[in-house]
Amino acid sequence: MLIMFLVVMGIFSFAQLGVDLFPKSDPAQAFVRVRLPGSSPEEMVSQVVLPLEESIASVSGIDELKAYVFEGEAMISPTFVLERDINEATEDVREKVSGAMRNLPPNVLPPVVQKADPDSDPVITLAISGSRTVREITEIADKQIRRALETVDGVGGVDLSGGRARQINLMMDLNKLNAYNLTAQDVQTAVVAENIEAPGGRIVRGPTEVGVRTLGRVVGVPEFGNIIIKNIRGAPIRVRDVGYAEDGMAERRSFSYFNGKPAVTLDIRRQIGVNTVNVVESVLKKLESVKPTLPPGVRVDVVKQQATYIKNSVKALEEHLVLGSLLASFIVWLFIRDLRTVLISSIAIPTSIITTFTVMKAMDMTLNSMTLLGLTLAVGIVIDDAIIVLENIHRYIEEKDMPPIEAAIHATREISLAVVATTISLVIIFVPIAFMTGYARRYLNQFGWTMAMAIMVSMLVAFTLTPSLSSRLLRRPKRKEETPEGQPVKRAERHRNTFLDRIYVATLDWSLHHRWVITTIAVLVFASTFVVNRYVGRDWMPQEDQAELGVGLELPEGSSIQETEPGGP
C-alpha cells in the first residue's frame, strides 16, 4: 500500500510538472535602462551614463560594469560575482540609481532597473502581414490580436515591432512662427495644457451627490486647429494660424518583413515559472479563435516558437528512458532466464522513477534536460538493489528449500546491510553535485537531487515491494534431477553449462591464472586517462542545432533606417 500510494502521488505529480529545456537559472547580471528623448549619444554619456556609473560602482560584488549608449537611450549592465545574491544586488542597484536621479537632467525619464531573466525571451513570435497598409496592419495587430493574446493564461507580455501606430502630427510653418514670435515649445505647451481631462470635485444636492469632470480633451483632428497658443494684444493665436494638424503615423524607427512583404511582429513572453509548452499551446489555441475575426487579406504566421524544440528534446529523452528500462530488463532476463524473477526486478524501474516525480514536484523542479538526464542514468541503477535482494531470496528458495514467504523475510534481513551500504555509496556521489558552487550549481542542482532521490526510492522499493512480490510470485522448484550421490541438482548448478556461463567461467579462469597481466592492463588503462584528458574538448554547454538560422548585419555608423530597410537607396 505504501508503494502504491507513492506511485499514485507520482502520477499526479508528473501531470503537474512544468516542461522546460533547462532548469531555471538567474544570471548574475542586472540592467539599468534610462532614456533622455532627443539627446545624442555624447550627451547621454556625459549627462546620464557617467553619473549613474559612479553611483552604481559603489555597490558591492560587481565583477564587471558595461554601458551601451544609443540615441536618446542607454543601458548600464553590472555583472556580479556568482556568490552575490542577484535579488539583493538588484535592490542595491535600484537604491543607488534612485539616489543619483538628482544629478540627472530634469527631462530624463525614470530609469528601469531589473535583473537579467532568461524567461523574458519570447517563447513564440508571430508575423502579421497582408494586402493592407502598414498602419492598418498595425491597428489590427494591436487592437485585435495583441489584446486577445494578453488575456491568455501564462502570457507575461506581448511586444509589437515593425509597425507604425497612428499619430496626430502638427505641421508648423516656420515663417509664421517667427512672425508671431512663437516657438515649437510654445505650441507643445499649449497642446498639453488644453488637451486634458481633470476631476472637478463633486456637487452635493440634499441626499444625492454628482461627480464633476472637466472635459477638455480633443475629440477630432480638426479641433487641434482651434487650440489657442498665445494671446497677442487681445487676439488669440491658434494652431491653424501657424500650421495644421495631420492624422498621420509615428516616425518609422523599426521595420519587419515576412516572405518579402511588410509585416508587424509580435513577440510573446511568458510569465516567470510558467510552463513554456503550455503557454505556446494556449497561445496557438487562442490564435485559432482570433483568425476568423480578422479582416480579409490579413494573415497570421508563426515565425518561431520554443515549444517545438523543447517538446522534441523532452520526447527524445523520454524515449531513451523507456528504451533503457526495456534493455535493462532484457539484460536481467539474459542472465537469470526466469520470467517471474525478471518481472519482479523490472517493476523496480518504473516504480522508482514514478515515485521520484513526487519529490521533484515538492522541490519545485521541472521536466528539463538535466532532470530527465538524471532519470535516464538512474534506470540502470535503481534496478541494482532489487536484483541483490531478489537474488538472495532466490538463493534461499533454491538452496535452503525455504517457502517463498520465509525466504523473503530471512533473505532480505541478511542482505539489508549490504543494500544500504550500496545505496549510500551511490548517493554520496550525486548529492555533492547538488551543492556545487558557482553558476554550474544552477544547472546541476536538479540533476544531483534527481539522481539521489531516485536511488533512495529504489532502496525503499527493494526492502518493501520486491520481498512482497517475491513471496507471492516465486515458486519452490520441482526436484527431478539428482547428483550421483542422490542429492537434488540445484538450479544454479544447472545454469552453469549455458553459453554465457561458459564464456564467463573461461574468462575468469584465464584472468586468475594471469594476474599480473590483468593488473598491468588495469594500471595502463588508468594511466592513459591522464593523457587522453589533455585532448578532450571542454565547453560549458554542448552545441545544439535548433534548425534555426540567425543573421546579424552591422551598417556604418549614422546609416538611416531607409538605408537599412530592404529595397532602400
69/173 same-domain check = no
Domain presence at residue 432: yes
Domain presence at residue 255: no
For range 109-121, the mean pLDDT: 80
β-bridge partners, 127: 265, 301
452/334 same-domain check = yes
Per-residue pLDDT reduced to its tens digit, 77-99: 998 887 788 888 889 999 999 98
Domain presence at residue 127: no
Does residue 218 sit in helix, strand or coil?
A: coil
Consecutive H or E run containing 290 = helix 276-290
pLDDT confidence band for 233 (50 / 70 / 90): confident
Query: Within a 10 A sphere around the Cβ of 184, how many other Cβ atoms?
Result: 13
For range 384-402, the mean pLDDT: 82
Contact between residue 127 and residue 301 where contact means Cβ atoms under 8 Å apart: yes
Per-residue pLDDT reduced to its tens digit, 137-177: 888 988 889 999 988 888 888 888 888 888 888 899 989 88
* Cα–Cα dist 181/378, whole Å: 82
* Cα–Cα dist 218/196, whole Å: 8
pLDDT confidence band for 527 (50 / 70 / 90): very high
Per-residue pLDDT reduced to its tens digit, 437-468: 766 777 788 888 888 888 888 888 888 888 88
Beta strands in 8-99 (DSSP E): 18-19, 30-35, 62-70, 73-80
H helices present in 404-498, as ranges: 404-434, 441-473, 491-494
186/324 same-domain check = no
Task: Tell me what pLDDT residue 543 has.
Answer: 65
* Cα–Cα dist 22/517, whole Å: 46
Most confident of the following: 203-217, 255-269, 425-439: 255-269
What is the percentage of the chain residues whose pLDDT exceeds 90?
A: 7
Domain boundary among 453, 476, 499: 476
* Cα–Cα dist 465/348, whole Å: 8
355/440 same-domain check = yes
Domain presence at residue 559: no
For range 338-350, the mean pLDDT: 81
350/316 same-domain check = yes
230/318 same-domain check = no
Domain boundary among 447, 476, 505: 476
Domain presence at residue 258: no
| 285-294, 502-511, 552-561: range with lowest mean pLDDT | 552-561
Q: List Cβ neighbours of 232 (8 Å cut-off, separation of 6 or more).
A: 180
- Pairwise pLDDT comparison (545 vs 479), residue with the higher score: 545
421/469 same-domain check = yes
* Cα–Cα dist 190/444, whole Å: 61
Task: Tell me what pLDDT residue 528 has.
Answer: 92
Domain presence at residue 535: no
H helices present in 369-403, as ranges: 369-399
For range 243-258, the mean pLDDT: 85
For range 423-439, the mean pLDDT: 83
pTM of the model: 0.67
Task: Tell me what pLDDT residue 167 has.
Answer: 86
Domain presence at residue 536: no
Task: Tell me what pLDDT residue 273 has.
Answer: 65
Does residue 309 sit in helix, strand or coil?
A: helix
For residue 255, give the C-alpha cell.
Answer: 521595420
Angle between helices 404-434 and 369-399 (to 10 degrees): 150
325/465 same-domain check = yes
* Cα–Cα dist 506/499, whole Å: 11
pLDDT confidence band for 352 (50 / 70 / 90): confident
Query: Within a 10 A sphere around the Cβ of 501, how many other Cβ atoms?
Result: 12
Domain boundary among 454, 476, 498: 476
For residue 397, give the C-alpha cell.
Answer: 528458495
* Cα–Cα dist 262/299, whole Å: 12
Domain presence at residue 292: no
Domain count, the chain: 3
- Domain at 171, CATH number: 3.30.2090.10
468/375 same-domain check = yes
85/194 same-domain check = no
What does DSSP assign to residue 281? Answer: H
Provide the residue range defining the domain that includes 99. Answer: 30-115
* Cα–Cα dist 427/457, whole Å: 11
In terms of DSSP bridges, do strands 366-367 and 18-19 run parallel, antiparallel, or are they unpaired? parallel
Per-residue pLDDT reduced to its tens digit, 190-220: 888 887 777 778 888 888 888 888 777 888 8
What does DSSP assign to residue 488? Answer: B
58/195 same-domain check = no
pLDDT confidence band for 517 (50 / 70 / 90): very high
- Domain at 106, CATH number: 3.30.70.1430
Write down the mean pLDDT value for the chain: 83
* Cα–Cα dist 261/551, whole Å: 19
* Cα–Cα dist 409/30, whole Å: 60
Q: How far is CA 392 from CA 404, 407, 418, in A?
A: 11, 9, 11
pLDDT confidence band for 484 (50 / 70 / 90): low
428/462 same-domain check = yes
pLDDT at 480 over 60: no
